[in-house]
Amino acid sequence: MVTKDITIEELVSRYPESVRFLLQRGIRCLECGEPAWGTLEENAQEKGYDAAALERLVRELNEWLGAKG
């Protein structure tokens, strides 16, 4: 299960399909082929996500990953 505290590097490593999900929501998780630094929360906040939007993002990402499995 993904949490807001997961690092982008771990997220991309464990769930490579998450890259597409995040890009569709404006969160860049790869730069020059390498995972971005920081946590999912930090990267979402840089894109203007507030606490409620971040919670929704994490919930939707987990649902999306579950549907892929």
Q: What is the mean pLDDT of each run of 10 residues along the chain (69 residues)?
A: 93 90 84 71 93 97 87
Domain contains 3:
no
3-state helix, strand, coil in the chain (%, to 5): 55, 10, 35
Residue type for position 6? I
Which residue range(s) make up the domain with 40?
Answer: 8-68
- Residue type for 58, please? V
- Write down the pLDDT at residue 27: 86
Are 2 and 30 spatial neighbours (Cβ–Cβ below 8 Å)? no
Assess if residue 1 is contained within a domain: no
Q: Is residue 47 part of a domain?
A: yes
Which residues of 1-69 form beta strands (DSSP E)?
Answer: 30-31, 34-35
pLDDT at 28: 76
Within a domain: 2: no
Whether residue 60 is contained in a domain is answered as: yes
Count of domains observed in the chain = 1
How far apart are the C-alpha atoms of 43 and 38, rounded to whole Å?
7
Instruction: Classify residue 40: in a domain, yes or no.
Output: yes
